[in-house]
Amino acid sequence: MLWRPRLDIVVMLWRPRLDIVVVLWRLDIVVMLWRPRRDIVVMLLDIVVMLWRLDIVVMLWTPRLDIVVMLWRHRLDIVVMLWRLDIVVMLWRLDIVVMLWTPRLDIVVMLWRPRLDIVVMLWRPRLDIVVMLWIPRLDIVVMLWRPRLDIVVMLWRPRLDIVVMLWRPRHIGYVVETRHSSYVVET
């Protein structure tokens, strides 16, 4: 099939051994190679590469220079998204999510592991930092809020039930709350 009025070209080659589909759409190229062992889809100038046997999806959106790379493996499960220089990295096997928002220099790093369970959020435009450490044995949440130099540290243990809060704008001190008592310490 050749469709030329807009210089759009569709080439379909259907072979039991090859199974190739090539689509040229306004200088955009779509190449689809469908093989039970490979299963490849390639799009150029708006590029999509899909390798289903390897479970890989790569998307390049060139008009905006946006890149989406998706690697989906049962053992790896990686998703990488580059969107206008914004980066999202998701590693599902290791349960890691890394988000880099570069136009504003915002960084969100989320590490989710059954043994670690770490969430790190860096919000750079205001220099705000939020660090959350969630561990089943420790249960620690650390929040750093930089514009006001506010710090909140929360330690939550079923046996201890401790919450430590550091609140800096008005005074430098912390609050300690336990199951049996609660008091404020100022420095």
Tell me what pLDDT residue 21 has: 41
Tell me what pLDDT residue 45 has: 35
Question: Residue 31: what are its φ and ψ, rounded to 5°?
Answer: -115, 120
What does the angle CA 176 – CA 115 – CA 82 come to, to the nearest 5 degrees?
100
Tell me what pLDDT residue 44 has: 36
Count CB neighbours of 122 within 10 A.
Answer: 19
* pLDDT interval class at 143 (50, 70, 90): very low
Q: What is the pTM of this model?
A: 0.20
Domain boundaries, the chain: 1-93, 101-187
23-46: b or e for each residue (b if 16 or more CB lie within 10 Å)?
A: bbbeeeebbbbeeeeebbbbbeeb
* pLDDT interval class at 32 (50, 70, 90): very low
pLDDT digits (tens, 9 = 90+) for 70-121: 433 343 334 444 433 344 444 444 344 444 444 443 444 444 444 444 444 4
